[in-house]
Structure formats: C-alpha cells, structure tokens
Chains A and B, each alone.
Chain A
Amino acid sequence: MTGLTQTEATTGQTVDDVAVDVRGLTITFTAAGKTITPIDGLDLQVRRGELVCILGPSGQGKSTLLRAVAGLTRPDAGSITTPEGAVTEPGAERGMVFQQDAIPMWLRVQDNVAFGPKLRGVPRAEYQPTVDHLIEEVGLDEWRRAWPRQLSGGMRKRVAIAAVFANEPSILLMDEPFGALDFFTREKLQGLLLQLWAETAKTVLFVTHDVDEALLLADRIVILGKGRVAQDITVPFARPRGDDLRSDPAAIELRQELIGRLGEK
C-alpha cells in the first residue's frame, strides 16, 4: 500500500468539499528557555464527512494541530479555514473532546449534555429532544441525575461525547479521547463514536497514538514529521470494520507499514 504524498492527496478536490483547510501553519513554543516548533509550514485538507486520524507518538505536535483547528491556540503563521470562515477563535461549529475529563463536574449528566446549547442561549424546547436522544444513545439513561464524580472514566467520556454531539458541530475534534481507558471500554466507545458519526456525517479529526484505533476508525491516516504532514495514507477497508480487521492480511500489512513509518522519525 503506497502512501500518497501531500500534493497527490490534495489534487482533485473542489473547494466546496473541504471542511478543514490548513495552509502553511506554523506554531512555536518557548519552554524552559528553548524554542520548539512543533508545527512548521503544515498543509492539510480534510474533506467534508471524512474521519481523519492524526497518528503518532506523543510530543510530535498532534495535539497542537488539533488545538489550532479548535481555535484554542493562535498560530504564528499560516491559516486555517472552514466553510464558516477563517479560524481565529473557538466556535460551536468545531466541537472538541479532550483527553482529560473537561466536562463540568458540578453539573449532573443531563445538564452536562445540555451544557452547550444552554451556553449559546438555545431555548429548552429546541435542545431537549436532542439531549434526551443522545443520553439514551450513549447508554446513560439511568444516570441522568448522577454527578460526574459518581461515574467511571468511560461513562464520563460518554457524557463528553453526548455533550459535543448535542451541540451539533459540523467538525468534531478528538484529542486522544480514549487514551486513558482500558481496552474493553475503549472498544465500546470506538463503536459508539462510529455509530454516531455514521448517523450525523460530521467531519472528524481524531488524534491518537494507537495504530489499531486508527485502522479501525480512519478514512485517512496522517502522520506528522518535522512539523508537517509526513505521510498521508488512505485506509481502503470497507465499513463496518470489526474484529475481522485484526485477521485481514491486507490490514496486517498496512499495520506493519504504519508502525514502520512511525519509527522512521
């Protein structure tokens, strides 16, 4: 399976198709007196409805890229554009699920899922049906009135997922959301994410260091290197993908290749 180069990946796309357009992005940090440039002239285009995994070990700038798309970190150079316009600030059209629990611990589950619409002043009659539906879909119907503190880590992630979907963003940004969970919980949540994604056709940018997770979820896998996109690989397997992916020889070969390319840096 040959990986496409950056230019090859971007030919043939019309402007309407592109949900996230990153051009020449550069972000520098100063940490302990040293200047680090995790993102250096990065270009990336994500099509509408695509699920793109940004894969790689920690510290290579994956989270930085995601936060820039979210509008939480302002770039030093370059631009990020969505159909709503240039990205300068966070906005409700770009929802995010954080790695560490970021849901308000002082709101019960039902208020947590409704948090986004309430923040934006949406009337209750408008958001309540969506909120109720999502609480059920993520399997937390019995826990509506629970405090987050009373929930397990996996359940809190479900709340986060339900909450971000309840806000109906067109772009979903996920920063290693299942990294802190055990294998079985992770599996269930991956399935839940794919289910919700299939229902709502959002554009998803998913950061992970787990190759298997990327193979399960992604339409495309992007590997960063030297501050830019180093590899951009289309994952050809049909959906729904499941356990058979582990035994499929083509998948095994791609897996090996990815691990190899990850190690190249």
Chain B
Amino acid sequence: MTILASRLGATTEPETGGPDRRSSRARPGTAWLWPLVGVIGFVLVWALLAALVRSSAVLPGPWEVAKNFAANFNGSPALKYLGLDVTSYVGNLGYTGSIVLSGWLIGAVIGVVTGLASARTQWVRNLVEPVTTVFGVVPILVAAPFALVWFGTSTTGKFLLIVFFSAATVLVVAQSAALALPLRYEEYAATLGGGSSARLRRVVFPATLTTTLTGLRAALGQAWGLEVVAELLGAPAGIGRAIAVRAGTGDIASVIALILALGILALLCDAVLSLIVRQFAQWQTDKEPS
C-alpha cells in the first residue's frame, strides 16, 4: 500500500474486530471533553499572548479578530477599495467554496472510478501509472503557476487545478485499497455467478468505500489550501485574494480572520463528510447487533 494511502487510514481488510486496547479506557460520551478543553485553552493562551505583546499590528487577540470578522462579514469597504470583485467575507467564502467543493466532487468521482478500474484492468492501470507514480512525489503546488499562465486568473484554471488534484489523490487511494483487497471476496462472488463488472460494483466498490471516503476527506482538506494559494497568485476574488491584499497592507487581524473563516467552512464540510463516512462504515464499527 502506498504511504499516502496508509497515511489516509486505509486498511487492508474489512475489520473483523479485535481487542480494543488503550482507547477503551475513556468513558463513553465524554470523548469530546478534553478536546474542548484544549480548544478553549488555546484561545485563552492566544488572548494571553496578545495581551503580552500589546500590539495588534503584530498579534491581535481573539476578540479583535472576531470584531474584524463580524464587521466585514457582509460587506467590506476595505476590500472594495483594494479592488476585489467580491467585497464581503461571506461573498469571498462563497467564491472560494464553490470552486473547491465543485472541483473536489467532480475530481473525486473521476478518481474513484479510474482508481478502482485501474486495480483490475491492466490497460487502465498503464494509462494512469505516470499519474500515480509522479503524484506521490510532486507537490501539487508546482502546477499552480502553470494553471495561472494557461488559464489566467479565471475561475476555470483554478477549477481544473482542483479537479486534477482531487482526482489524482482519490485515484491513488482507491487504487491502493482495491489492490490490497484480499482475492477471496471477488472469488466468492465469481463462484456465485458474478461477472467482472458485477464484482467491481458489488464487491470492490463497497469493500473499499470506507478507505476511499477517508481519502476524499483528506483531499478536500488539502484542496482548500491549494485554492487559496492559487488565488494568492492571482484571482478576481476569493479568500486567497482577500488575504493577499490584506497582507499587503499589513492588516494581520484581517488575515487571521479570513484564515479562520475559511478554516471554519472547511471544518463544517469535513464534519458533514465524516458523518457520511460513519454511515457507510457501520459494518466495521457497530458493536451491538442493530
């Protein structure tokens, strides 16, 4: 299994259950307690540091950032002055978000289909072999300048960049998971009369779904950053562009506010996705017969 795939949590087999080690010691239902404490602690430490530094030009405190966010949420004269096409935080979130989510979704579908097929059909694999080999080593950011040159600052170029990145990431994970699947599940299906396309749909796809969805989650998480850098290089609007212009005027509070805003959006999307993953992973995690 590729390192990338295993990093993204791929398992080689549907889990048959095993002894729960250290994780069983927490009381059920309180798993969120300490993480919450951690986050609150982080905000407090931040406020403390900001108070110590005493200069909001260097480190604005959480309250300052929150004010900035609220003030600019629906409309920002500053962004308008600095020449953005879209002049509110929420508008720029929408711009960036729509590119990322649509590009990611389309790329993911392409990635899954191609990845699974490439694990079973040699000519498909030969076709994508350059992509899978190169993709693990080449930082996708290297492609961003080319997207800029070929497509300008338009949304098309960024959209294609996200599609390509998402497809390649998911392809690697899906292919790896499908290759790692023990033979006997498909052999069993074959002895029941399943042809190769039926086996792909009814065995390979569901068996690798959890792993692939985890890969999807990771791809989305990284896609946000990729889009922002692409916008930093040049875009009519978007969180990246907003960050660029605000950083240009040294407005750290705004930069932090924008980053946090995007982060919260990314977090919400990830939370939704993880709920979906949990639905599909019931067969691996259910403890009691339902």
Whether chains A and B associate is yes
- Identify the A interface with B (CB < 8 A): 70-72, 89-92, 94-96, 98, 100-108, 115-116, 118-120, 143, 145-150, 163-164, 167, 173
Contact A106 B207 (CB under 8 A): yes
Cβ–Cβ contact B190 & A72, under 8 A: yes
- Which chain B residues have a beta carbon within 8 Å of chain A's beta carbons? 14-17, 182, 184-185, 187-194, 198, 202-203, 206-207, 209, 282-284, 286-290
Q: Which residues of the other chain, B, contact A100 by a CB distance below 8 angstroms?
A: 182, 184
The 9 closest A-B pairs by CB, nearest first: A92-B193, A116-B192, A105-B14, A90-B190, A102-B188, A102-B184, A96-B191, A119-B194, A146-B289
The answer to whether B192 touches A120 (Cβ under 8 A) is yes
Could you tell me the distance between the alpha carbons of A103 and B14 in the complex, rounded to whole angstroms? 11
Query: Given the complex, which residues of B lie within 8 Å of A143, measured CB to CB?
Result: 289
Chain B residues with CB under 8 Å of A102's CB are: 184-185, 187-188
CB within 8 Å for A94 and B290 given contacts A102-B184, A106-B206: no
Distance to closest chain A CB from B280 (angstroms):
8
Asked whether B191 lies within 8 Å of A90 as measured between CB atoms, the reply is yes
Given the contacts A145-B289, A149-B286, A92 and B192 also touching, CB distance less than 8 Å = yes
Residues of chain B lying within 8 A (CB to CB) of residue A163: 192
B188 neighbours in A (Cβ, 8 Å): 96, 98, 102-103
A119 touches which one: B192, B207, B289 (CB < 8 A)? B192
Report the minimum CB–CB distance from A160 to chain B (whole Å): 8
Closest to A95 in B: B191
Inter-chain contact A94/B191, CB cutoff 8 Å: yes
A-B contact pairs, 18 of them (CB 8 A): A71-B191, A72-B187, A90-B193, A92-B192, A92-B193, A95-B191, A98-B184, A103-B188, A104-B203, A105-B16, A105-B207, A106-B206, A116-B193, A119-B192, A119-B194, A143-B289, A149-B284, A173-B191
Considering the complex, give the chain A residue whose CB is closest to the CB of B290.
Answer: A145
Q: What residues of B have a CB within 8 angstroms of the CB of A149 in the complex?
A: 14-17, 283-284, 286
Smallest Cβ distance from B18 to chain A, in angstroms?
A: 10
Bound form: Cα–Cα A231–B47 in Å: 84
For the complex, give the distance between the alpha carbons of A71 and B187 in Å.
Answer: 10
Residue of A nearest to B14 (CB): A105
Across the two chains, which residue of chain B brings its CB closest to A150?
Answer: B289
Min distance, Cβ A243 to any Cβ of chain B, angstroms? 33
Expressed in whole angstroms, the Cα–Cα distance for A102 and B182 within the complex equals: 9
Contact partners of B203 in chain A: CB under 8 A? 104
CA distance A235 to B286 in the complex (A): 46
Main secondary structure of the interface of B (DSSP, over half): helix
CA distance A148 to B182 in the complex (A): 17
Query: For chain A, what secondary structure do more than half of its interface residues adopt (helix, strand, loop), or is it mixed?
Result: loop
Given A98-B184, A119-B194, A106 and B14 touching (CB < 8 A)? Answer: yes
Bound: A250/B275 CA distance, A = 64
Compute how far the CA of A150 lies from the CA of B16 in the bound complex, rounded to whole angstroms.
8
Contact yes or no, A119 B198, CB < 8 A: yes
Q: Report the separation of the CA atoms of residues A101 and B185 in the bound assembly, to the nearest whole angstrom.
A: 8
**Residue in A70, A100, A102 whose Cβ sees the most chain B Cβ within 10 Å:** A102
List of B residues within 8 angstroms of A92 by Cβ = 191-193
CB distance from B124 to the nearest CB of A (A): 21
Q: Which residue of B lies closest to A147 (CB)?
A: B283
Residues of B within 8 A of A107 (CB): 283
Contact A70 B290 (CB under 8 A): no
* Shortest CB distance A113–B (Å): 11
Closest residue on chain A to residue B202 by CB atoms: A119
Give bound CA distance, A164 to B188, whole Å.
Answer: 10
- A106/B193 in contact, CB under 8 A: no
The docked-state distance in angstroms from the alpha carbon of A190 to that of B188 is 21
Contacts of B288 in A (CB 8 A): 150
The CA of A253 and the CA of B142, in the complex, are separated in Å by 77
Apart from A90-B193, A104-B206, list 20 A-B contacts with CB within 8 A: A72-B191, A91-B193, A94-B191, A100-B182, A102-B184, A104-B203, A105-B15, A108-B283, A115-B189, A116-B192, A119-B192, A146-B290, A147-B282, A147-B289, A149-B14, A149-B15, A149-B17, A150-B286, A164-B191, A167-B193
A103 vs B207: C-alpha distance in the bound complex, in angstroms?
Answer: 11
- Which residue of A has the minimal Cβ distance to B286? A147
Residues of B within 8 A of A108 (CB): 283
Interface centre among A95, A106, A163 (most CB of B within 10 A): A106
Closest residue of A by beta carbon distance from B13: A105
Report the bound CA distance from A118 to B199 in whole Å.
12
A218 to B270, CA, bound (A): 57
B119 → A minimal CB distance (Å): 17
Measured between beta carbons, the chain B residues less than 8 angstroms from A146 are 289-290
Residue of A nearest to B203 (CB): A104
Contacts of B207 in A (CB 8 A): 104-106
Residues of the A chain whose Cβ atoms lie less than 8 Å from the Cβ of B286: 147, 149-150
A115 contacts B289, C-beta separation under 8 Å: no
The docked-state distance in angstroms from the alpha carbon of A98 to that of B282 is 25
The residue of chain B having its C-beta at the shortest distance from the C-beta of A98 within the complex is B184
Taking the closest CB of chain B, its distance from the CB of A189, in whole angstroms, is 18
Nearest Cβ on chain A to B128's Cβ, whole angstroms: 26
Which residue of chain A has its CB nearest to the CB of B281? Answer: A106
In angstroms, how far is the closest chain B Cβ from the Cβ of A34? 22
